[in-house]
Structure formats: C-alpha cells, structure tokens
Amino acid sequence: GQVFKLKDYRPTDFVVERIDLTFELDPTQTRVVSRISLQRRDGVAADAELVFDGDELSLEGLQLDGRDIDPALYTATPDTLTIRELPASVPFEITVTTVISPQTNTQLMGLYRTNGVYCTQCEAQGFRRITYFYDRPDVLAVYSVTIIARKSETRYLLSNGNLVSSGSLDEGRHCATWFDPHPKPSYLFALVGGDLGLIEDSFTTMSGREVALKIYVEHGKENRAGYAMDALKRSMKWDEEVYGLEYDLDIFQIVAVSDFNMGAMENKGLNVFNDKYVLADPETATDADYANIEAIIAHEYFHNWTGNRITCRDWFQLCLKEGLTVYRDHTFSADQRSAPVKRIAEIRLLKAHQFPEDAGPLAHPVRPETYREINNFYTATVYEKGSEVVRMIRTILGAEDFRKGMDLYFERHDGDAATIEDFLACFAEASGRDLRQFALWYSQAGTPSVSVSTDWNEAGHTFKVTLEQSLAATPGQPRKALMHIPLAYGLILPDGSEFAGQPSGNDAENGVFHLTRRKQSFTFTGVPERPVLSINRGFSAPVTIAMEQSAADLAHIARHDSDGVARWQALNEQATRYLVEASKLCRDGRNLPSAQKLAEILVATASDESLEPAFRAQALALPAESDIAREIGSNIDPDSIHAARNAVLSEVARFGADVFARLAGAAPEGAYSPSAEDAGKRALAGAALAYAAIADGGPGRAMAAFDAADNMTVLSQALQVLTQSFPAAAETADALTAFRTRFSGDPLALDKWYAIQAMMPGKTTWRRVEELLDSPDFDRSNPNRVRSLIGGFSAGNPTGFNVASGDGYRLLAREVIDIDKRNPQLAARLLTAMRSWRSLEAGRQEQARLALVSIREAANLSPDVSDIVDRMLD
Ligand code: B3K
Ligand code: ZN
C-alpha cells in the first residue's frame, strides 16, 4: 500500500468556497448531487488538473457550469476523479453526481444504515465514499445540504448547521435544507435521516443567545437520554467559564446510533454517538458508563472549538485536536468529580494502553510522520499521550500563561487548518519560553525512563537528587535526542510536613524539576532531617521512574504526601513491586514471601474514613495482570502472574476479612444517583465485596449481593466477583442465566454479559467465547457486540487469551479475517490486542507468530489490517 508522509504536504491546486449537496435517500440507490464552486489557486499552472478523492464510487454525471463535460476531458475511477482543461482564472462550478448504497455499506464509513436510520461517519476519509471531493482537512468550505426522503421511514432529516427550510413533496416524500455558515472540512460533514425519538432542552449562552439542544435516540429510549443532556449543558457552561468559549450555532444536536465504529463523532452542530455513550438508566448502566457518557459528551462538545473552529492541516496533526480535546475533557471531569480520583484513573489507563503501545511494534510519535492507513492512528498515543503533552505544557507554563497561550491560539487560528508548530508557537509567545526541546514530545516515540538517585548528607543537612534520562529505540527511530521532562516533586520530612526550600541552580521552579540534559543534580540545603523524595507527583510527565526507594519510604509517601495522586502512586508502586517479584517466584515454582506489609497498608487505607471512598476503592484495586506483565517486560508467563496475583488477593482478603465484610455491606443512602460521591461509595463496596468473597471461599455473599442488587453497578460488580473468583460454581452459572433472561431485549446491557464471560480466567474460556459467537442472537456485524466479546477476551483476559495451546490467538485470527471482509476498521482495532506478543515466553510467542502469519497470508486483506499485521511482524 501507499505510504503517506508528513513532509510531502502541499496545498490543493484549486480552492473550494462552497458546496451544495442534495441527497435523495434510498437504501440501495441514494443519489448525491454535489455542486462545488472552485477557483484555481494563485500561482498554480494553467494546465493543472483537478484531482478529487473517491472510494468505491461510480460517477453518474459531471458538469462544468451546468454543461456536461466532454468524457475526453475527465477520468473517473472508483477512487479518483481527474478533470482537465478547467478555467484558468475565473471561478467555476463543478457538479458531480454519484449513486451509493447505504444499506450494503458494512464498513460504517461514509453514508450507511443502522437500525433503519441513515447516518454518516466521515472522519477520517469517509466523505469520499459519498461523493468525489477534496477529502482532506485543509479544504474548508461552506456547506448547504438538502435531503429528500420518504416521510414514513425518515421522520427527521438532519445535517450540520441551522435548518433553513423543510416541506412536503409528492409520493409521500419530504425534504429539509440545512445551512452551516462555518467553513469546515469534509470530515465534519454529517447527515442523519430516520424515525427516532427526541428529547429537547435549551441553553442560554454567556452572551444571552438561546441554543436549542436536541438528542435523538431509538424510540422508547428517550428516558435514558437525560443524563447525556445534563452533561451537555454542564459542558457548554464549563467551556464558557474556563476558556471563555461560547457555542456558535442556534442548535446543537446529538444522534445516538447502535452501529458505530468508535465512541462518537464531533460533526459540526450534529454529533453522532455510539448509543452506548448516550443511553443510561440505573437499571442498565453502571457508574462507569455514566462517567464515560459525561466525558464523551464533553469531549465531542469541546471539539467545537478545538477541532472544528480550528481544525488540522493534515492527518499527521491529528493530536492537535485529539490530544488537546482529551486534555480538555480530562480537566472538565476533574472539575465535575474528584480531581485526584480522576487523575488516578487516567494514569491507570495511560499505563495500560499507551505504555504498551510505546514499547511495542506499533509505537509511533504523538505526531506520526508516515502512515499507510490513517484510521490506525486513532491511538492511545495520539489521544492519551497527546493529552499528557498538553498537560506538561500547562505544568511548565503555569495556569496563567497556559491560558494566555490558549487565548492566543483561538484568536490567531480561528478558522484555520493548523499545525502543531502553530499551536506551540502560541505558548512560546505567550510565555516567552523556548519550547523547541519540548517539541520533541511530538516527534519522538517511546516512553522515556528517568532513573533517580538521592544522597542525604546528615552532617551537612543537604539532600541531593540526581536524575538521568534515557529513551529506547522505537521502530524507525534508532537514536533519540534528549527530552525536556518536567517532574513535579516534594520532599517529605519525617513528621509528614513538606520541606519548603528550593534546590540550587535554576532548573527547578514551583515544585518542578526541569530535566533537559542527560543527567542533572539538584541540591537542597538546610534540610532539617532526612526527607523522602516524592517524584513525578500527579504523573506530571508520562515516563517510567527507576528508583530504589525502600518500602518504608513508599509507605511514608502513601501516608503523608499532600498530593492524593502521589499517595496512590506510592501504594501502587509498592503493590507492583511485590507482584512482579511474586510472579517471578511463582514461575520458578518457588514459595512466595509474605504480603503482610502490603496487606496492612491496603487494609489501613480501605478503612481510613478520612479518605474519600472512591480513593480507597482505587487503593484496593491491585495492579491488573496486564500491568504486572508490562512491568516484567519480557519472557512473560500469564499463568504465573495470575497465580501470584491471586495469592496476594487471598492474603489481603484474609488479613482484612472483617473490614471487607463491613465495607462490602455499605451502600449509599436513598435512591440511585450517578453522582461521583455515590459512585465512589459503590466502588468501595464493590472492591470490598471482591475481597470478602475471597475470604469467604464461596459464592454465597456475592450471590446474595447479586440477588439484592437494585442497579446495574452493583449487579455487574457481583457478577464479576462470581465469574472471576468462582467460575465453576453452580451459583455463577445461575447468575449468568438470570442476567441473560432479564436483559434479553437490551443489547447494551447484554454487552456486559458477553464481556464478563469473555474475561473469565482459564484455559477453556476460548471455547465459551466460540459458543457465544455462534449463538443465534449474537450480532456479528455490530461493533459493540464484537468489542464486548472478542475485544473483552483478547484485551481483557490475559490467561484465557494467552492459553499456551494458542487457541486464543487462533480464535482472534479467524475473527479478524472474517470481520475484515465487512468492517476493516473494527478488524484492525481488534488485532492490536496482540501488539505485545514479542514479550511473551517462547512457546506462546511462537503460537502468536503463527496466528499473525495466518492473518498476513489471508486473501484480500484490507489496508487497515495489513498495515497492523505487517508492523507487528516486522
Ligand atoms: N474524532 C472522532 C474519531 C474519529 C475516528 C475515525 N476513525 C471522535 C473523537 O475523537 O472525538
Ligand atoms: Zn476527539
């Protein structure tokens, strides 16, 4: 396949000003007429051809200024339209007619149908599946869209911007015309036509304009859209208060659809959502679902400024909108909920998804420099690490200069298709800082490592901290330059207070060490007693820290650090160390040392009423098996990790049995509320239930919790305890049957049922997954179903998926090859679950390699899957 390179960027030869689209919707014969006003760009040769993108298109008509173009003057293939001899200096209009089939569009890119609803997904390159156009983000045009369809099946006809007219036509048809005054790239175009339910509200902006808010969902699910509406209003308010950014149309619409390749899409004024991130009620959604809805509603809304008003020059700049918008939704959620608890969840996610990506064959810079298939770059690196990079800018600049930089960015680039250089220049200018070395975060892949040593001079009362950075080679980047790494720190004295003095030199300010050279030392003088160093507080930089810190020092941080995130980091570090050690011993068939110390601190934290429940729940959640595997890094045996972790769980459970039994029974008072506070209480009770059940040694308590549950959070917690700790018990089978019967008509709730089973540990889970895949009511074409079952298995079940026989890998390979025929994006995404295959022990590695080779050798692979499999095998 073709390789696209950042350095090859050049603007188009023709400039587009307006595009008028007319759709006559039909399941298999949708007619699209596109009238485009164009003009040759100044300085472009008079004989330059106009080259538009297409994808599986067939041309039905082509006109220049209303007259058919001579077929000798153009060439149309399914993926390009080239027109020759166009006017050299005057503006002209091209009319392109195509006919497409939404009904058979299983890729879910372009115009497709889901549950009888017509909808579009155009990012990154779906618009070219609708009509021939410059399908690239630097071509901004004003869109006017007319939709014609049968009234009976499309009660609502929607597109971007404001509705300008609508009416009835003959033969039971109707039409609507929408106009979006804001110039936009084609990837932000959207159209929806369908018979849907609607909830409405409104928002008054800070300048007093009233905006109509509409959320469309499947009929009968209107009462599940209230939380999304509430989250939307809070997002609109927050963006005004925190960034001074106001919404800019008279209407903001969200449509929830059941077949969607990712979470949601920020189309101008008409967001399209995976219904999983809109629909929630206590009976079918968990606290985590509510939190995700809040975050994703906010994310897509915030794109209105960071993404839509200022978009990307090319797809290499994807992090310009995604990293920044993730940063914005993170800070929004932190403000709406508990900031430290939110940050802990982010750190967990980053380490679980981004660190392995950075350490394996799919590693790429936050701003990649080449790609074969852009859809494969909507990654944890672009999104989550991209957000961390913005967060570091804020750490380096401080809140005030950061805001000045953002203001300048909006002021200078509103209406632009911008680059990372444009973005960084705003912060450099607003703060007077040199960010050139910092910019390496965008171009160098891999997770830097910082080794830390300390030296306490008792007689001189000095404390010296030495930092040294390194960054391993990644694909295509054998040698790396030194980075600018901002590390927040604190010195904690024996009495728990913090030493306030500054270190020598000027490489530290406001509690942050700026590591810019290979090795740097910071000396604190006048330190009264030996302090404990708390480093990378709040995870100020996305790096790994190598430091020999004693268990006692970690415990000191865990107890006294003024930063809650750092307290959790210390606890987590202590647990990780123990689990890594225990896994290695298990592997060698040796006995495990006592986990008493760890148990003591975990149980003490769990029962500390001065801490918020959500934090205590986070503390109780031991590092996952995949976290332990990542720390071990190579020659991984998932079974010994599982065994070691279970042994630790048992020891903690026995030690804290009374505490856990008490906490497991606690529930928030009153009716269910998705508030962060109540969610935190349920999280703590759920974590305690898992330990209490292990201490019991039987399923009784979890089964009782399952039977008594009056909301999905508690119900699914109980089901997870049963399936994880008592997979073979009759009660577990009963609970699974009861769950399935109760939610048989509710696909989103059943997704939990699939995922929970897919994640059951053990050597035979792959058979269960196979059976579930073959069950008659499993819809293999729905991405949510597929992700729950196959994704849950391959990405969420280390022992089951990595079964030594290779059956797990073969199952995934088979499904990837099959799904690829219908939906390449989904197939490629599922396959990334194998990205760390080279860190497995030899036997599994060989099985994994064989499965990957079988994929590579399959016929007619999509560019999506071949790109991933080639990089993984390289
Ligand atoms: N911008 C979309 C993602 C589109 C993915 C295309 N493969 C959602 C988001 O990040 O908000
Ligand atoms: Zn986004």
Element holding 60 (H helix, E strand):
strand 59-64
Q: What pLDDT, in 10s, does the model give residues 279-313?
A: 999 999 999 999 999 999 999 999 999 999 999 99
Distance between CA 158 and CA 165 in Å, rounded? 11
Nearest CA to ligand 1 atom 10: 322
Nearest CA to ligand 1 atom 3: 265
* CATH 1.10.390.10 domain locations along the chain: 311-443
Q: What pLDDT, in 10s, does the model give residues 76-101?
A: 999 999 999 999 989 999 999 999 99
**Exposure b/e, 759-774, CB count within 10 A at least 16 = b:** bbbbeebbebbeebbe
**Exposure b/e, 256-273, CB count within 10 A at least 16 = b:** bbbbbbbebbbbbbbbbb
Atom of ligand 1 nearest to the CA of 299: 11
Element holding 64 (H helix, E strand):
strand 59-64
Please give the pLDDT value at position 1: 76
Taking domain 311-443, whether its CATH number is 1.10.520.20 is answered by no
Residue 373 near ligand 1, beta carbon < 6 Å: no
Helix 339-349 × helix 318-336 angle, to 10°: 140
Q: Which of the ligands is closest to the CA of residue 188?
A: 1
Residue 864 near ligand 1, beta carbon < 6 Å: no
Please check whether residue 23 is in contact with residue 32, taking contact to mean a CB–CB distance below 8 angstroms.
yes
Residue 299 near ligand 1, beta carbon < 6 Å: yes
Mean pLDDT of the chain: 98
Residue % of the chain over a pLDDT of 90: 99
One-letter-per-residue 3-state SS of 380-424: HHHHHHHHHHHHHHHHHHHHHHHHHHHHHHHHHHCCCEECHHHHH
Nearest CA to ligand 1 atom 8: 265
* CATH 1.25.50.10 domain locations along the chain: 743-874
Residue 392's contacts (CB-CB under 8 Å, 6 or more residues apart) are 438, 441, 486, 540, 541
Distance between CA 873 and CA 853 in Å, rounded? 8
pLDDT average, residue stretch 160-169: 98
Where does the pLDDT of residue 687 fall: very low under 50, low under 70, confident under 90, or very high at 90 and above?
A: very high
Helix (H, G, I), strand (E, B) or coil at 306: strand
Atom of ligand 1 nearest to the CA of 266: 11
Please give the pLDDT value at position 704: 98
Q: Pick from 112, 121, 186, 266 the residue to mutate for probing ligand 1's pocket: most ligand atoms within 8 Å of its CB.
A: 266
Distance between CA 191 and CA 213 in Å, rounded? 17
Residues paired with residue 414 on neighbouring β-strands, in sequence order = none
Residue 300 near ligand 1, beta carbon < 6 Å: yes
Maximum Cα interatomic distance, the chain, rounded to a whole number of Å: 95
3-state helix, strand, coil in the chain (%, to 5): 45, 20, 35
Residue 297 near ligand 1, beta carbon < 6 Å: no
Give me ligand 1 centre to Cα 480, in Å. 30
pLDDT average, residue stretch 109-119: 98
Residue 113 near ligand 1, beta carbon < 6 Å: no
Please check whether residue 784 is in contact with residue 258, taking contact to mean a CB–CB distance below 8 angstroms.
yes
634 token code pair: 């190579």
Counting beta carbons within 10 angstroms of the beta carbon of residue 508, is it exposed (0 to 12), middle (13 to 18) or buried (19 or more)? buried
Residue % of the chain over a pLDDT of 70: 100
Nearest CA to ligand 1 atom 9: 265
pLDDT average, residue stretch 533-557: 97
Please give the pLDDT value at position 777: 84
Distance between CA 162 and CA 251 in Å, rounded? 7
Residue 190 near ligand 1, beta carbon < 6 Å: no
CA nearest 289: which of 612, 677, 792, 748? 748
Atom of ligand 1 nearest to the CA of 326: 10
Nearest CA to ligand 1 atom 7: 375
Distance between CA 96 and CA 35 in Å, rounded? 7
Give me ligand 1 centre to Cα 851, in Å. 29
Distance between CA 847 and CA 839 in Å, rounded? 13
Atom of ligand 1 nearest to the CA of 296: 11
pLDDT at 109 over 90: yes
* CATH 2.60.40.1840 domain locations along the chain: 454-548
Where does the pLDDT of residue 776 fall: very low under 50, low under 70, confident under 90, or very high at 90 and above?
A: confident
Catalytic residues, by residue number, are: 300
Atom of ligand 1 nearest to the CA of 322: 10
Please check whether residue 87 is in contact with residue 116, taking contact to mean a CB–CB distance below 8 angstroms.
no
- DSSP one-letter string for 838-856: GGB-HHHHHHHHHHHHHHH
Domain 743-874 belongs to what topology?
Answer: Zincin-like fold (1.25.50)
Residues paired with residue 67 on neighbouring β-strands, in sequence order = 64
Q: Which of the ligands is closest to the CA of residue 327?
A: 2
Residue 322 near ligand 1, beta carbon < 6 Å: yes
pLDDT at 335 over 80: yes
Q: Pick from 322, 375, 867 the residue to mutate for probing ligand 1's pocket: most ligand atoms within 8 Å of its CB.
A: 322
**Exposure b/e, 359-396, CB count within 10 A at least 16 = b:** bbbbbbbbbbeebbbbbbbbbbbbbbbbbbbbbbbbbb
Residue 326 near ligand 1, beta carbon < 6 Å: no
Distance between CA 369 and CA 426 in Å, rounded? 22
Atom of ligand 1 nearest to the CA of 375: 7
Taking domain 454-548, whether its CATH number is 3.50.50.60 is answered by no
Chain centroid to Cα 264, Å, comes to 11
| Global pTM value | 0.99
Please give the pLDDT value at position 364: 98
Residue 124 near ligand 1, beta carbon < 6 Å: yes
pLDDT average, residue stretch 466-487: 98
Element holding 686 (H helix, E strand):
helix 676-696
- Strands 141-150 and 14-24, sheet pairing: parallel
Chain centroid to Cα 289, Å, comes to 14
pLDDT average, residue stretch 56-72: 98
Distance between CA 279 and CA 224 in Å, rounded? 5
Q: Which of the ligands is closest to the CA of residue 267?
A: 1
pLDDT average, residue stretch 744-750: 97
Q: Which of the ligands is closest to the CA of residue 325?
A: 2
Q: What pLDDT, in 10s, does the model give residues 355-408?
A: 999 999 999 999 999 999 999 999 999 999 999 999 999 999 999 999 999 999
- ipTM of this predicted structure: 0.99
